[in-house]
Structure 1
Amino acid sequence: MASRYWIVSLPVQNSASDLWRRLSESVSKNAFDTSIYRFNVPELRVGTLDSLLSLSDDLLKSNAFIEAVSHKIRRQIDELEKVSSGEGGALTVDGVPVETYVTRFAWDEGRYPTMSPLKDIVNNIHGLVAKIEDDMKVRASEYNTVRSQLNAINRKQTGSLAVRDLSDMVKEEDIIATEHLETLLAVVPKYSQKDWLSSYETLTQYVVPRSSKKLHEDNEYALYTVTLFRKMADNFKIAAREKGFQMREFEHSPEVQDTRKQELQKLVQDQDAMRSSLLQWCYSSYGEVFSAWMHFCAVRIFAESILRYGLPPSFLSAVISPSTKSEKKVRSILEDCSSNVQSIYWKSDDDVGVAGLGGGEDTYPYVSFTINVV
């Protein structure tokens, strides 16, 4: 799918069909790798020149906003699809591929009555897109909250022995817990294991000889048990910490472990369900935003053409998808096709006028702006 389109309008001197034939034939002959399509703009309500001039600023701001929301939803789709196990599908607008919608655009009179003032249509489009953006923020925040909780749990389960959950490493038979005896867990730096093994029995009185057993080892630490009289546990912990050994609190509880597993499973299920729901919502909302954007582009091309060429409306609009190497040639063709009619607001490069309605883009003796689809 093309990622960038020009939407242009040319002033019609005699016949729109003659101008279209001339334009399409010239593009086909001189820039054969460029696709060109009619962009069907309905006859909208013109209003006053002052209202059009006032609207022009809103058009530029709203276009940037709508385009940004469109790209934001697309990025969210891409992110979700990376972990969606193939749940995603093709981007569509009103049931057709995005490229087809762009190149065969038809105005939706039911959604946007052409007799409505242009400002009302623009405000309705802007409001719709703003609501979708707000909904996306809420939905994405809820999904990211669950995702963050899962990531935190995963870090505890896969991180360093100094901080990770130990329940999957310590078995019931590793722990002695009687009225007089207690098993402690020590996290020993990997390079200090010999020091631990040679000293743990002497860190305090009443340590059971040869009771230390290594349960696990990672890149930084090793996890050891040690058994001693319960009444000496606090003294042992203090002495161990002074030698650089970290004592981990741990209580073996099958009930607690089962509860944690159930909570983890529920979080995973919640994340999967929310991801699937958010992905479906994004696909649907992308279509809504893109449809609104193309209707907005039709309003924009209409308003800017009136401001550029005057009344009554007499212009030909088109969607062009030029290759990079053909851009200059296509621009030349477009300029040639519009050179016979003097644009009433067209100024020279030294003047400042309505010719700059392109929103910061280069100005031409015809209306032109670019939309970036992806």
Structure 2
Amino acid sequence: MATRYWVVSLPVPTSASSLWSRLQESISKHSFDTPLYRFNTPDLRVGTLDSLLSLSDDLLKSNSFVEGVTHKIRRQIEELERGSGGESNALTVDGVPVDSYLTRFVWDEAKYPTMSPLREIVDGIHVQVAKIEDDLKVRVAEYNNVRSQLNAINRKQTGSLAVRDLSNLVKPEDIITSEHLVTLLAVVPKYSQKDWLSTYETLATYVVPRSSKKLHEDNEYALYTVTIFGRVADNFKTSARERGFQIRDFEYSPETQESRKQELEKLMLDQDTIRTSLLQWCYTSYGEVFSSWMHFCAVRVFAESILRYGLPPSFLSVVLAPSVKSEKKARSILEGLSDSANSTYWKSEDELGGMGSLGGDADSHPYVSFTINLV
């Protein structure tokens, strides 16, 4: 599948079908690796020259917006698929691959009646795509919210002993809680373990001798228990902190552990459900936005052609997908075919007072041309 296409219109001197035959013949002879298709631009309502000129100012801006939304949705699909280890499915419009939809484009008269003013069609497309973009933001925010909650929990499960959740490292038998005694959990830098073992009994009065036991160790810290009389706990914590030992607040509770486990399972389930729903929505919405974009391109090629070649509308619009090495050849063929017909209308940008083109790469060619990037 090509990822870059040119939408081009050439002025028709006598008959569109004979120009089409000449273009096909030239491309197959001199640029045979350039796929070429007719681009079906319907007969739209021209309106006044003033309305076309004012529309032309907005076409480029709106095109960038619509194109940007298609890329946003495509990137979101890739990110979601990558996150689950899957591969993106082919992007489609109503079940038709996007490149086929583009190269066999047919105007949807039911959705965009050709008798509507061009401004109405363009504004309608803009509003519809803006709504989809807003919807995308809301759905992605919901998904990211669940993901960040999960990441926070995972950080607590996998971070260093200074910050991680300790509940799954401590067993009921490690903790003594009685009327007078409490067990504290000390996070000791790995290089200070000897220091801890030789001093913990002296950090406060009423520390139970030989009560410290190592429960766990990571790259930076070791986790120790120590049993002391409850009334000296505050003094012990202060002395420990002064020596570089961190006493972690911890209360052993099977109920809390169970509720955390359930919270984690629920969040994982929520993440899967929201991800699946978001992915499905993205595939469908990509098709909708892409279809809108192609209708927009048809309006654009129609409006640019009228401004470029004059009235009545008489032009041939085509789609090409040249390889990088064939671009120059394809451009010279298009130029050759537009030169003979274009002598009547083609004037310099100055003579046209800025009407000659609507931006993009159209400026540098004596025919209408703009690029569609699928990625």
Seen in structure 2, the aligned counterparts of structure 1 residues 34 and 127 have a Cα distance that, compared at 3 Å, is same
Alignment correspondent of 1:165: 165
Aligned positions of 1:10-49 closer than 5 A: 10-49=10-49
Alignment correspondent of 1:93: 93
In structure 1, how many angstroms separate the alpha carbons of the residues matched to 2:344 and 2:145?
56
Contact 1:87–1:276, Cα closer than 8 Å, also in 2: no
Alignment correspondent of 2:368: 367
Give the SS at the match of 1:82: helix
Alignment correspondent of 2:61: 61
Seen in structure 2, the aligned counterparts of structure 1 residues 67 and 343 have a Cα distance that, compared at 3 Å, is farther
Q: Deviations over 1:30-66 (max 9, x none)?
A: 1122111100111111111111111101111100100
Dislocated runs of 4+, deviation >6 Å: none
Contact 1:305–1:315, Cα closer than 8 Å, also in 2: yes
In structure 1, how many angstroms separate the alpha carbons of the residues matched to 2:133 and 2:156?
34
Segment drifting more, 160-169 vs 354-363? 354-363
Give the SS at the match of 2:235: helix
Deviation at 1:262, TM superposition (A): 0.7
In structure 2, how many angstroms separate the alpha carbons of the residues matched to 1:349 and 1:302?
19
Deviation at 1:348, TM superposition (A): 3.5
Give the aligned residue type for 1:331: R
Contact 2:349–2:356, Cα closer than 8 Å, also in 1: no
Deviation at 1:220, TM superposition (A): 1.2
In structure 2, how many angstroms separate the alpha carbons of the residues matched to 1:346 and 1:358?
16
In structure 1, how many angstroms separate the alpha carbons of the residues matched to 2:87 and 2:266?
20
Deviation at 1:114, TM superposition (A): 0.5
Alignment correspondent of 2:356: 355
Give the aligned residue type for 2:231: K
Q: Deviations over 1:302-349 (max 9, x none)?
A: 010011111111100001111111111110010001010236553337
Segment drifting more, 357-366 vs 248-257? 357-366
Give the aligned residue type for 1:283: Y
Alignment correspondent of 1:208: 208
Deviation at 1:178, TM superposition (A): 1.0
In structure 2, how many angstroms separate the alpha carbons of the residues matched to 1:333 and 1:18?
15
Contact 1:180–1:229, Cα closer than 8 Å, also in 2: yes
Aligned positions of 1:97-116 closer than 5 A: 97-116=97-116
1:340 aligns with 2:340: yes
Aligned positions of 1:286-365 closer than 5 A: 286-342=286-342, 346-348=346-348, 353-359=354-360, 362-365=363-366
Q: Deviations over 1:73-120 (max 9, x none)?
A: 111111111123538522101210011001100000000000101110
Alignment correspondent of 1:84: 84
Alignment correspondent of 2:119: 119
Provide structure 2 residue ranges, at least 5 long, that are not aligned to the other structure: none
Deviation at 1:185, TM superposition (A): 0.3
In structure 2, how many angstroms separate the alpha carbons of the residues matched to 1:8 and 1:177?
81
Deviation at 1:360, TM superposition (A): 5.9
Alignment correspondent of 2:253: 253
Give the aligned residue type for 2:62: S
Aligned positions of 1:177-188 closer than 5 A: 177-188=177-188
Seen in structure 2, the aligned counterparts of structure 1 residues 160 and 361 have a Cα distance that, compared at 3 Å, is farther
Give the SS at the match of 2:201: helix
Alignment correspondent of 1:137: 137
Segment drifting more, 354-363 vs 26-35? 354-363
Give the SS at the match of 1:317: strand
Give the aligned residue type for 2:371: T
Give the SS at the match of 1:269: helix
Give the SS at the match of 1:51: helix
Give the aligned residue type for 2:321: S
Contact 2:361–2:370, Cα closer than 8 Å, also in 1: no
Q: Deviations over 1:185-211 (max 9, x none)?
A: 000111111111111111112212221
Give the aligned residue type for 2:106: A
In structure 2, how many angstroms separate the alpha carbons of the residues matched to 1:301 and 1:361?
11
In structure 1, how many angstroms separate the alpha carbons of the residues matched to 2:336 and 2:278?
48
In structure 2, how many angstroms separate the alpha carbons of the residues matched to 1:320 and 1:87?
28
Amino-acid identity (%): 75
Aligned positions of 1:232-243 closer than 5 A: 232-243=232-243
Deviation at 1:354, TM superposition (A): 2.0
- How many residues end up aligned between the 2 structures? 374
Alignment correspondent of 1:74: 74
In structure 2, how many angstroms separate the alpha carbons of the residues matched to 1:357 and 1:344?
20
Give the SS at the match of 2:44: coil
Provide structure 1 residue ranges, at least 5 long, that are not aligned to the other structure: none
Segment drifting more, 228-237 vs 107-116? 228-237
In structure 1, how many angstroms separate the alpha carbons of the residues matched to 2:372 and 2:122?
17
Contact 1:37–1:319, Cα closer than 8 Å, also in 2: yes
Give the SS at the match of 1:339: helix
Deviation at 1:235, TM superposition (A): 1.3
